[in-house]
Chain A
Amino acid sequence: MNHKSIHNDLIFYLDNELSVEKRTAVEKHLEECADCRSFLAFLQDGMQVIEKEKNPEVSPFFYTRLSARLEEKEESQVQNQWVQLVQPVFFSLLLVAGIYGGLKLGSNASSPKSDQHVTSSIQMLNDFDAEPVESFLLDEL
């Protein structure tokens, strides 16, 4: 067996996943090859990280924190339910008020009474009838 094939098999050798023949061949090569032994140790150290990391100690306040988050969520859900109920009612009322206001304005604008009111206000602004521009200029002189 050469270095390359040994290097390809070492991770499976560590996990005891090689056939008996292959395992024997790898062990024989390892006895003779310092470089492959060194890589095996490197690989073993690397994979040991997993063993060290496994089953970490979890915070004793895990459930307390979770419970607080759950309550927070429930509260916001209740609030959202209220918003979901109130929002359509509010916008419907706003729409009805808008339509009513529009109708009211429209009926005022089309009535003859209001036409008369507008004409008289225009007449009041038109001062030419009461004081022609010529007499005004003559007064200035």
Chain B
Amino acid sequence: MDEAQLIKGIQQGDRKSFQILVETYQPMVVNTCLGIVHNQADAEDLAQDVFLEIFRTAEKFRGDSKLSTWLYRIATNRSLNLIRNNKRKRFFQSIEETFTGGRNRSSEISENRADQPDQNMADQQRSDLLHRAIDRLPEKQRIAFTLNKYEELPYQQIAEIMEISLASVESLIHRAKKNLQEQLLDCYKKKCV
């Protein structure tokens, strides 16, 4: 079944077509979300939201771009929205902590650590360091870098997904790498890992 038939089936509410679409694109969508949110459970939840949106809005898909481009676009937008919401929550939590003495935050951290008990400390620190560095990148740099590194997409496809020029993608990825290197160098000098 090709893309057009798949979409036509979903537009008619065919569950079998939808299942084929999910099974085909599920690793790609989860991997993209994971590259941005850095948490497996959140990435899977986001991927589910992406597929639900596809099922709900399939009629709007005109076939101007590739199905994968549409999926990447929804996945990156939803992931960024989650990060924005989390930032907002953390802001209000920090206000709450000033009154409660920080009890809530410590319990959250211990829960996150318990998610990955088998990872050793050095690996965990290294992965935290890289995630923090990626999270500090401006949104556009983060998206371009994630699509290039996690999904290994060529610059041309990233340009289509982000609806920007090829030169802009090149510049975004170059700046993202420079920023990451600066942050890692800073950490290396301070011996933070």
Chain A residues close to B by CB (< 8 Å) = 7-8, 10-12, 15, 38-39, 42-43, 45-50, 52-56, 58-59, 62-63, 65-67, 69-70, 73
- Comparing B80-88, B97-105, B174-182, the segment that makes contact with chain A is B174-182
In the complex, residue of chain A having the shortest beta-carbon distance to the beta carbon of B148? A15
Q: With A42-B188, A46-B184 given, is the CB distance from A66 to B130 under 8 Å?
A: no
Q: Across the interface, do B178 and A8 meet the contact criterion of CB distance under 8 Å?
A: yes
| Min C-beta distance of B139 to chain A, whole Å | 18
| Min C-beta distance of B20 to chain A, whole Å | 10
In the complex, residue of chain A having the shortest beta-carbon distance to the beta carbon of B13? A74
Q: Mark B4-45 against chain A: 1 for CB-CB distance below 8 A, else 0.
A: 000000000001001100110011001100110010100110
For A73, give its contact among B26, B34, B43, B52 (CB under 8 Å). B52
How far, in angstroms, from A86 to B181 measured CA to CA in the complex? 61
Mind listing 17 A-B residue pairs with CB under 8 Å?
A: A11-B177, A11-B178, A15-B177, A38-B188, A42-B184, A42-B188, A49-B127, A50-B130, A53-B34, A55-B27, A56-B43, A62-B22, A62-B44, A63-B19, A66-B51, A69-B52, A70-B55
How far, in angstroms, from A43 to B186 measured CA to CA in the complex? 11
Q: Across the interface, do A47 and B130 meet the contact criterion of CB distance under 8 Å?
A: yes
How far, in angstroms, from A36 to B25 measured CA to CA in the complex? 41
Chain A residues, CB < 8 A from B31:
54-56
Number of interface residues of B (CB under 8 A): 37
For A11, give its contact among B23, B131, B150, B180 (CB under 8 Å). B180
Q: With A11-B181, A54-B31 given, is the CB distance from A62 to B127 under 8 Å?
A: no
| Min C-beta distance of A60 to chain B, whole Å | 11
Q: With A50-B150, A54-B31, A58-B44 given, is the CB distance from A63 to B126 under 8 Å?
A: no
Chain B residues close to A by CB (< 8 Å) = 15, 18-19, 22-23, 26-27, 30-31, 34-35, 38, 40, 43-44, 47-48, 51-52, 55-56, 126-127, 129-131, 133, 149-150, 177-178, 180-181, 184-185, 188, 193
In the complex, residue of chain A having the shortest beta-carbon distance to the beta carbon of B145? A50
How far, in angstroms, from A45 to B127 measured CA to CA in the complex? 9
Q: With A49-B130, A50-B130, A53-B34 given, is the CB distance from A58 to B184 under 8 Å?
A: no
How far, in angstroms, from A47 to B185 measured CA to CA in the complex? 13
Chain A residues, CB < 8 A from B193:
42
For A43, give its contact among B19, B44, B178, B181 (CB under 8 Å). B181
Chain B residues, CB < 8 A from A45:
126
How far, in angstroms, from A75 to B20 measured CA to CA in the complex? 23
